[in-house]
Amino acid sequence: MKIAILSDIHGNLEALESVLREVYKRRVDKIICLGDLIDYGPNPNEVVEISKREFDIIVMGNHDYAVIDRNIIEEFTLIARSSIIWTLNVLEEENKLFISSLKFEEFLKDIHIVHACPKYPLDWTYILSVYEAKIYFQYTESFITLIGHTHIPAMFVKHFSKIEHIIPEPFEIYELNENYQYMLNPGSVGQPRDRDYRASFAILDLNNLTFQIIKVDYDFQTTKKKILENNLPHILAYRLETGS
């Protein structure tokens, strides 16, 4: 089984469309989304509509969760608060209902699928280092745990008590060992933060046991223009140019 893994689309229609064009070329069996369909970007409704049609599994991200519990908005930065309020005001009711139906975690074979972290998904912990990975490896027995949330591609590898953090190079194919455990992060489709403006996703090949980060160019200038036209925080437009 070959799986495309997407995360953190954040209302960026141009990035999502470019990623999906690349996904279709690769003839995958399933598309999994690790959440945060909305917020930051100017096209939340369009992104949700595409997600309904195209994705086989979607879990809820913290920005999606604001549809259910607006108290979480208080935990966001000022920029994120402003953009999520705008998003909730323009989001159509049927799309709110769809987001509300998402689960916090899903399983596919021996794959644990979450937005941020296993066991306690509502903690919304950023797994950025071996320190956090060590804590959350305790809470999953799965061969692979898929995580997003950080907007940065990553591989965490556990073999007995040793944990390694690998920053995967785009397009390089990494072999997985069935005797190890992995936390795999595909990076962000709609708002990368790894100093690379390109939209990021991953291919997980369970037949050959490989993992690969794919980077895709997209028309971020159009996204940027729409963000500014909708009076969303300007930093959300300009950070698209630098992937920061």
Write the pLDDT tens digit of every residue in 177-233: 999 999 999 999 999 999 999 999 999 999 999 999 999 999 999 999 999 999 999
Per-residue confidence (pLDDT) for residue 119, from 0 to 100? 87
Contacts of 194 (CB under 8 A, 6+ apart): 151, 152, 153, 187, 200, 243
pLDDT tens string 162-177: 999 999 999 999 999 9
Specify whether the CB–CB gap between 178 and 208 falls below 8 A. Answer: no
d(CA 187, CA 164): 18
Which domains are seen in the chain, by residue range?
A: 2-241 (3.60.21.10)
Q: Which residues pair with 215 in a beta bridge?
A: 200
**Cβ-based neighbour number of residue 19 at 10 Å:** 25
Using the predicted structure, report yes or no on whether residue 2 has a pLDDT greater than 90: yes
- Which pLDDT score is estimated for 168? 98
| pLDDT at position 14 | 98
Measure the CA–CA gap between 153 and 166, rounded to whole angstroms: 9
DSSP 123-154: G-----SHHHHHHHHTT--SSEEE--SSSS-E
Instruction: Calculate mean pLDDT across residues 46-59.
Output: 98
The DSSP letter of residue 103 is B
Cα distance between residue 1 and residue 164, in whole Å: 26
Residue 153: name the closest of 100, 238, 111, 211 by CA: 211
CB 141 within 8 A of CB 119: no
In the predicted structure, residue 152 carries a pLDDT above the cut 90: yes
Instruction: Look at residues 106, 119, 107 and name the one whose alpha carbon lies nearest to residue 60.
Output: 106
- Listed in sequence order, the residues at least 6 apart from 94 whose beta carbon sits closer than 8 Å to its beta carbon are none
Give the strand pairing for 162-166 and 154-159. Answer: antiparallel
pLDDT digits (tens, 9 = 90+) for 65-114: 999 999 999 999 999 999 999 999 999 999 999 999 999 999 999 999 99
